[in-house]
Structure 1
C-alpha cells in the first residue's frame, strides 16, 4: 500500500492544470491566476498626500511655529497648477498630487487658517516625505503584481483593478460530480426503511467541494446494480473530477473498481496505508479537456471526509493551477493523551484552537469512521502515528476540515 505522501504525489503527477479562460474581474475572486500580472504603471502614479493638510517644503518647518501663504487648494482628483516656493504652501486633500517644490504635508489639525495665510505647528519629526506617499512606493512599473498560480483574494482583486486587469485570465471553475452508491442508501430527504441509512456522503462532499471553490454536480444515488452504476459513472466522467463514495472495498457488492475499468478509467492506485480511508481508489480517464480525475472514496463518511482533505483537495488545486497543491502544514499541541494501537497512521478528529501558545488539538469524542457527530464537533484531524502513545503536550501534524478556516 502507498503511504499518504506517495499517494498524493501519484495524484498530482497524473493531473495537469485546466486551460485558462478569461472572466470579468468581479467573477475571479477565489480562482487561480493563470498568467502573471505585471504592473503597467507606478503605484501611486504620483507623489500624493496621505492626509488632509498643507503641502510645503520641509525646509519651512524648522521651527515650532511658521506662517505661510496659501497659494492654491488641491482637492483629490485635481492637479496642481503651480509650484510651491519659499514661504508658501498649498492646501491639499488626501490622495491629491503634491505640487512641485513641496515634499511634506503638515496635517490640518496642526494648522490655523486666516484668509490666505496659515499658521502651522509642524510635528517635531517632520522631514522630507512626512505624510506623503512617494510615486511608486507600492509598485514600480514592470514589477510582478501577482504570480501565475496564486489564488485571487479580495485584496488581490483590488490590486488587479488598480492596474487595469479586467477581464483576467484564470483557470475554469472546476466541475466535480458526486455519486453515492449502495442499496442501503436513501436520499437525506426520505425516511430510511429497514436496513437502510440516509445519504450523508453526497451532501458532505458537495459542501466540501463548494468550500474548496469548485462547483459540485450531485448525481444522486446508484444501487448495487452494475448497469445503473455504469450509467451514472459515464455521466460523471463528463466532469473535471468524479467522486464516488462506497463500493470500493473487497466485498461481493463492491462494484465500483470493475465498473470504472469497463468505462475506460485507468487505475493509478487502490488502497492507502491510512486510517480511516484505506480502500481509497484513484484513476484517470482522458477526454477533450484533459484527464478526468476519479476518486473512489470509502463509504464511511469520516473516511470520505478524510480522503477529500488528503487527496481530493490537492487534486482540485492541481487542476485549478495553484502554485501550491499540498495541504497547508499545521503543527498543534495535544491537550490530552491519545493512543493509536493500530498498524496504520490515524487521522483522529480534533478541535483545533489558536491560542497564546500556538495551535492546540483537543481530541473529540469519536466512535470511528462512521461517527459524523464526532467529526462535526471537530474542525480537523491530528495525525497519530501507528502503534503509538502520545501524551498531553506532544506535538502532532494536523489538517483542517474543508470550510473550517
Structure 2
C-alpha cells in the first residue's frame, strides 16, 4: 500500500500545470500570478506627509521660537518653496514635502498662527517624524508579487497603484463535486429510516472555494451504474472531479469500475493512513473530444476521511495545476498540550485545536471518535500527525501539525 509521500509523488507526476493567460486586473482577484511582478517606480514617489501639520526643520523647534509660514500644500500640489532657517510650510496628509524638510509637526502641536507665523506646544521633535520617505514602501525593480502567489485584494490594490491594468495568471480550475450513495438525502430534507443528509457535498464545496477553485455541485448519484455513469460523465467536463463514497470494498462500491468504463485511468487506490485509507486517484487523459485532462479523486464516504483527504491530496493537486509550491497545507511543529495514545498500525491525521502563543504552536487533540464524527472534527482547526508506536505521546512533545483555515 502507498505511503502518503508516495501518493504526493504520483499526484505531482500526473498533474501538469495549466497554461497562463492574461486578464484584466479586475478579473484577477483570487487567482495565482504566472510570473514575478516588479515595481517600475518608487512608492511613495516623493517624501510625503503622514498627517496634517507643518513641514519644518527639526533644529528650528526650540522654546520661544516662531517660524514664518511660506505657503500651504494640499495632496496633489507641488511645493513652490524650500525650507530655510526658521520657516515652515503647512501641509496636508499625503502632500509632497518641500526640500529641506526633515519632520512634520502635527497641527495639534501648533499654536494658532498669528500674522503667518506659528509657535509650538512642544520643545523638540525627532528627525523623520510623520514623514514617509520616497521609496520607503516600495522601490523600483523590487519584486512585489512572486510567481505562484495568490492575488488577494491587497495585492490587487498594489498592482493598481503600479498601473498594471492586465496581469498574467493561471486560470481558475473547476472542480465538480459528486456525492454517491443510496442513503443520502439533500440537506434540506428530513432523513428517513437508514438515511443521512448529504453533508459531504456541502463540506467539499466549501473546501474547494477556500482553495481558490470554482466548485461545481453535481448533487447525489445513487449506487446504480446508469445513474453513476450519467453524473460522472457530466463531472468529467470539469478540470477535477471529486466523488465522495463508493470507493471502498463493499458490494455497492461501484465508482472505480464505472470510472474505468468511462476512460479514467487509475493511478493509485488506497493509502497507508487513517482516516482516508480507501482514497482513489486517476486521470481521464486529454483527447480529440476533451482538449484538457480531468483529474479524478474518489474520496471515502465518511465525512472526516473525505475532509482529511481533501486537505492532504486534493489541495496539493490544486496547487500543482496552478503551479504553486506543491504543498497541501503548510506543516508546522507544535507542542502537545496533553498526552495521547495512538492505536493501530497506520499514521493518524488526528483533528486538533492548533494555537499560536509566544512564537510557538501548541496542539490539543479534540474529543473525536472516528471518521464519521463530524461533531468532534468541527471543534478542530487542523490536525496532528501521530505515527504508530508502543509508547504514548507525552505532554509537551513536538509533533507535526497542519492548520486548515489559513492557506490563502
- 1:362 alignment partner in structure 2: 364
- 1:7 alignment partner in structure 2: 7
Kindly indicate whether the alpha-carbon contact (under 8 Å) linking 2:72 and 2:91 is maintained by their aligned counterparts in 1: yes
Kindly indicate whether the alpha-carbon contact (under 8 Å) linking 2:103 and 2:125 is maintained by their aligned counterparts in 1: no
- 2:126 alignment partner in structure 1: 126
Kindly indicate whether the alpha-carbon contact (under 8 Å) linking 2:336 and 2:395 is maintained by their aligned counterparts in 1: yes
Structure 2 residue corresponding to 1:398, chosen from 395, 401, 404: 401
Quote the Cα distance in structure 1 between the aligned partners of 2:50 and 2:405. 40
1:10 to 1:104, Cα distance in 2 relative to 1, 3 A: same
Deviation at 1:298, TM superposition (A): 0.9
Q: Match of 2:134, SS?
A: coil
Deviation at 1:149, TM superposition (A): 0.8
Quote the Cα distance in structure 1 between the aligned partners of 2:278 and 2:400. 23
Quote the Cα distance in structure 1 between the aligned partners of 2:10 and 2:58. 63
Kindly indicate whether the alpha-carbon contact (under 8 Å) linking 2:16 and 2:321 is maintained by their aligned counterparts in 1: yes
Kindly indicate whether the alpha-carbon contact (under 8 Å) linking 2:269 and 2:278 is maintained by their aligned counterparts in 1: yes
- 1:136 alignment partner in structure 2: 135
Structure 1 residue corresponding to 2:347, chosen from 326, 333, 345: 345
Which region of structure 1 is more displaced relative to structure 2, 159-168 or 271-280? 159-168
Quote the Cα distance in structure 1 between the aligned partners of 2:120 and 2:405. 56
Deviation at 1:342, TM superposition (A): 0.7
Matches within 5 A, 1:56-75: 56-61=56-61, 63-75=62-74
1:347 to 1:83, Cα distance in 2 relative to 1, 3 A: same
Deviation at 1:123, TM superposition (A): 5.4
1:175 to 1:57, Cα distance in 2 relative to 1, 3 A: same
Paired residue total: 403
Deviation at 1:58, TM superposition (A): 4.2
Matches within 5 A, 1:6-405: 6-61=6-61, 63-112=62-111, 113-120=113-120, 124-127=124-127, 129-287=128-286, 290-323=292-325, 325-356=327-358, 358-388=360-390, 389-401=392-404
Which region of structure 1 is more displaced relative to structure 2, 214-223 or 13-22? 13-22
1:202 to 1:23, Cα distance in 2 relative to 1, 3 A: same
Structure 2: 5+ residue stretches without partners: none
RMSD between aligned alpha carbons? 2.4
Quote the Cα distance in structure 2 between the aligned partners of 1:380 and 1:52. 46
Deviation at 1:121, TM superposition (A): 6.1
Q: Match of 1:114, SS?
A: coil
Superposed CA deviations along residues 179-219 of structure 1, whole A, max 9, x for unmatched, are 11122333333333443333221112112112222221111
Quote the Cα distance in structure 1 between the aligned partners of 2:325 and 2:64. 55
Superposed CA deviations along residues 226-284 of structure 1, whole A, max 9, x for unmatched, are 22212211111111111011111223322211221222222221111100111111112
Deviation at 1:26, TM superposition (A): 4.2
Kindly indicate whether the alpha-carbon contact (under 8 Å) linking 1:106 and 1:122 is maintained by their aligned counterparts in 2: no
Q: What TM-score do the two structures reach when normalised by structure 1?
A: 0.91
Deviation at 1:133, TM superposition (A): 1.8
Kindly indicate whether the alpha-carbon contact (under 8 Å) linking 2:314 and 2:328 is maintained by their aligned counterparts in 1: no
Quote the Cα distance in structure 1 between the aligned partners of 2:277 and 2:69. 77
Deviation at 1:106, TM superposition (A): 2.8
Which region of structure 1 is more displaced relative to structure 2, 66-75 or 160-169? 160-169
Quote the Cα distance in structure 2 between the aligned partners of 1:110 and 1:353. 43
Quote the Cα distance in structure 1 between the aligned partners of 2:224 and 2:405. 32
